[in-house]
Structure 1
Amino acid sequence: MIKKADLHLETRDYFLTKHRFDISKTSIHGVLITTPQPQELDKYYDSEEYLSHDDSNNSLFAKLYRFARKLNIKSKFKLISKYDQGGKVLDIGAGNGELVKYLVEERLDAQGFEPNEQARKIAYQKGVRLLDHLPVRNKSFYKVIQMFHVLEHVRNPKEYLDEIHSMLEDDGILIIALPNFKSLDARLFKNYWAGYDVPRHLFHFNKNGVINITKEKFQLLENKPMWFDSFYVSILSARYKKWAIPFLTGLGLGFVSNISALITSEPSSRIYILKKLK
């Protein structure tokens, strides 16, 4: 169990309910926790503005999000292909199934798991059947498991990682993507930073946090910045602060954050590639 420690900051659910939450340090260095953690989280996702679960929003911002998502799918495919070596691939948090569909079309042996019913329905309309539960009985079954912006939503990330470990083949690969609360955009926007996204994000990580929470079961092979995320997060954050022309100011600050990351190695979001330890 990850234990709460000193307060990091106070914030709100600026995306939907405006409810107030605390973000505190924990017993694991580099990992923060959202409190309180609502027992019923579904209502905090119930919005067509939650773009990873809904394709019906046709705003300019939503269209740009979907364009960036398509570019990311190709980069994810290249990354997964580097490690899958003909083995089975599992996409956890598969959303509307676009990545799984692309992987199958590229002849990878891929499955997807998505807990949100609405997202699964959208995937089904695209011809993709997603699992509605984590296939924990599939021991040593997958060569690659990938979780892009998933671990921060999990109530007990250490236990979840233990389950993932058991599902991977020996020397299997886990790919995680997470927001980085040490980035420049996080430090500039503070409690308005969209990367906190409380209470949907129950935990928050920097690089040290990922290393510390995974080191017993996994070896970190490499990490990579996610350059598009800084723009998306900064535009949302500028909206939350009610800045004039949030789209343009967010783009500008996203660009500045990326330049800063070239110097500090603290991007808005990171991809971590980890190998299973026996």
Structure 2
Amino acid sequence: MADQKFFLSCKDYLVSGEEFDLFWSDKYEILETKPAPLDLSFYYSSDNYISHTDSKETFREKLYQRVKNFMLNKKLGWIKKYKMSGKLLDVGAGTGDFLIEAKKQGFTAYGVEPNETARGVAFHKDVNLEKSFKDLEDTNFDVISMWHVLEHIPDQEKEITSLYNLLTEDGILIVAVPNFKSYDATFYKEYWAGYDVPRHLYHFSQNGLTSFFFDNNFELVEKRPLIFDSYYVSLLSEKHKTGSWNYFRAFYTGLKSNMRARSSSEYSSLVYFFRKRQKP
């Protein structure tokens, strides 16, 4: 993305301890992580990367898994506003729980997950995940979901083109990403866990994401907040900033972020619902 200027420096708190810079793109209000690692797989090699495991050993992990399970029905309820059934593709399917619930609720469910560890966990639940889109090129989907996945993708335009080609003409594309203009992001600054460098290669504002997708032949039909994200992200941010799990302070900051977002709409994370628009 052209016309970039320095925005902020952040640290990788999960694996390497390395510093990375975020650069602002004026065209889209999108931040880009630099330098982008050549081997991203190294930066996911941690037992603490919770979305690739089903661990419930600590209080934090139990809390995460409980909220995740609660949100499965919520997400499918949102989808059923547009599609009651059909073929559903979950990109970045993690350990497969969303697909299991989608099947229970009447969808023919498929998943893509590049991480071998996560695919292995899903396999033990009888969920077979593809490693890439290549094995699905002859299939079209009524619903494609990306729950906190887009920010991990190196070649954004190529990814969106693939999604466009995989989606049926009247299909719905769902994209959930963190919002760097939220209160918790501006409060924690370089400690904000939503940046999660270098695993998050891009960082989105609302205007940036919708404009980028519009230029790649998708139109926005709806947005919804992910209310719980502000609390969990604030908890991780407290750990980054202070070295301690300050649960009460994190809860207060997450609550404050959600309260402010009621008027500003700048929630910690948002879900965007897109449809195809006619290519110019």
Sort the TM-score into its range (normalised by shorter chain).
over 0.9
2:106 aligned partner: 107
Report the equivalent of 1:151. Answer: 150
Q: Which residue of 1 aligns with 2:189?
A: 190
Equivalent residue letter for 1:102: E
Aligned-residue offset at 1:56: 3.1
Quickly say closer, same or farther: Cα 1:172–1:135, change in 2 above 3 A. farther
> Which residue number corresponds to residue 96 of structure 1?
95
Cα drift, residue 247 of structure 1: 1.8
2: CA distance between counterparts of 1:4 and 1:234?
31
Cα drift, residue 16 of structure 1? 2.5
Q: Deviations over 1:4-30 (max 9, x none)?
A: 610011111122321000000125321
Equivalent runs, 1:239-250 vs 2, <5 Å: 239-242=239-242, 245-250=245-250
Q: Say whether residues 1:7 and 2:6 are aligned partners.
A: yes
Q: Give the Cα separation in 1 of the matches to 2:83 and 2:260.
A: 33
Contact 2:230 2:258 (C-alpha < 8 Å) held by counterparts = yes
Moved more, 180-189 or 237-246: 237-246
Q: Give the partner amino acid of 2:170.
A: D
| Counterpart for residue 259 of structure 1 | 259
Poorly superposed stretches of 4+, deviation over 4 Å: none
Rounded to whole Å, the distance in 2 between the matches of 1:265 and 1:172 is 26
- When residues 150 and 263 of structure 1 are mapped into structure 2, their CA distance, relative to the original with a 3 A threshold, is same
Which structure 2 residue ranges, 5 or more long, are not aligned? none
Query: 1:140 touches 1:170 (CA, 8 Å); kept in 2?
Result: no
Give the unaligned 5+ runs of structure 1: none
- Which amino acid is 1:225 matched to? P
Given that 1:139 and 1:166 are in contact with CA atoms closer than 8 Å, whether structure 2 keeps it comes out as no
Q: Deviations over 1:50-88 (max 9, x none)?
A: 110012351100000000100111111112222224321
TM normalised by structure 1 equals 0.96
Q: 3-state DSSP class of the match of 2:50?
A: coil
Q: Show the counterpart of 2:23.
A: 24
Q: 1:28 to 1:139 in 2, by over 3 A?
A: farther
In structure 1, C-alpha distance between the alignment counterparts of 2:26 and 2:134, rounded to whole Å:
30
Give, in whole Å, the separation in 1 of the partners of 2:33 and 2:117: 25
Q: Which amino acid in the other structure matches residue 20 of structure 1?
A: E
Q: Is the 8 A contact 2:235 2:245 kept in 1?
A: no
The alpha-carbon distance between structure 1 residues 168 and 48, as it changes in their structure 2 partners (threshold 3 A), is same
CA distance in 1, matches of 2:104, 2:47: 28
Secondary structure of the residue aligned to 2:48 is coil
Please give the TM-score of this superposition, normalised by the length of structure 2: 0.95
Aligned to 1:51: 50
* In 2: Cα distance, 1:16 partner to 1:182 partner: 26
User: Match for 1:99: what amino acid?
Assistant: F
* Percent identical: 38
Change in 2 beyond 3 A, CA 1:136/1:219: farther
**Structure 1 3/67 Cα, relative in aligned 2: closer, same or farther at 3 Å?**
same
